[in-house]
Amino acid sequence: MIDFSKLEKKLNIEFINKSLLEQAFCHRSYLNENPGFHSDHNERLEFLGDAVLELVVTEYLFKEYNNPEGEMTNWRAALVNAITLSGIAQDLGFGDYLLLSKGESKDTGKARQYILANTIEAFLGALYLDQGYEKCKVFIEDYIIKELPRILKDGSHRDAKSYFQEMAQEKTRITPTYKVMKDWGPDHAKSFVVGVFLDKELVAEGEGLSKQEAEESAAKNGLKIKNWN
């Protein structure tokens, strides 16, 4: 079993069930190369942790702000997306404890970003089972919700697709369309490049691990190219 004592000390959290903590860091790819490993992969914990994270963030925003639902939905999305969560996981040193296949451990790009984000959610699932909701709430407020002022300041909560459409209709009276330009990789880890078009004009392209993420990236790049920021 991996020694998580340094991480536990850093987070001021000591797990009662260490096997839950280890499972939170075990990626499916590791089990493919080590089928006899004593732990399961972290996807079920991730499913649970995602729900805990969403509830804590929603509860916090509801209690602390009187803003319209749509605005708070965008704030929540920016707090729990892969970019924010992977950055926090990196800062906390989660990458040092990941159990990955040899292939996955060499990847330092977008795929690693998603693995780190999913590991944060799996960690929260493990923490919830081990110590309950309140302990998860403390962790989320200390490490995730504290990012909200930065997100509001830099505007990363804004839905780029909606804003690009709004600006395109205002400036050109054309509704943008999106088209997959290329995709590659296995079904469970596909990458996409999507183009955003105004009529027949290809304005920009964006890349992502889902069509939605690639569309959002294309819209962001389109806003820059058109100087609509």
Contact 30, 99 (CB under 8 A): yes
Q: Which CATH class is domain 5-154?
A: mainly alpha
Reply yes or no on whether 104 is catalytic.
no
Phi-psi region of 227 (alpha: psi -120 to 50; beta: other; left: phi over 0): left
Amino acid 223 reads L
Name the β-bridge partners of 192. Answer: 183, 208
Burial of 74 (C-beta count, 10 Å sphere; 0-12/13-18/19+):
middle
Residue of 121, 130, 215, 216 marked catalytic: 121
Reply yes or no on whether 121 is catalytic.
yes
d(CA 74, CA 54): 12
d(CA 52, CA 134): 10
Number of other CB atoms surrounding residue 158 within 10 Å: 16
CATH of region 160-225: 3.30.160.20
| Structural domain spans, the chain | 5-154, 160-225
Residue of 8, 40, 43, 50 marked catalytic: 50
H helices present in the chain, as ranges: 5-11, 18-24, 28-33, 43-64, 69-80, 82-91, 102-106, 110-131, 133-143, 148-154, 160-171, 211-225
Q: Per residue of the chain (229 residues), what is the pLDDT tens digit?
A: 789 999 999 999 999 999 999 999 999 999 989 888 888 999 999 999 999 999 999 999 999 999 999 889 889 988 998 889 999 999 999 999 999 988 888 776 777 888 999 999 999 999 999 999 999 999 999 999 999 999 888 766 777 888 899 899 999 999 999 999 999 987 767 889 999 999 999 999 999 888 888 998 999 899 999 998 7
pTM for this one? 0.75
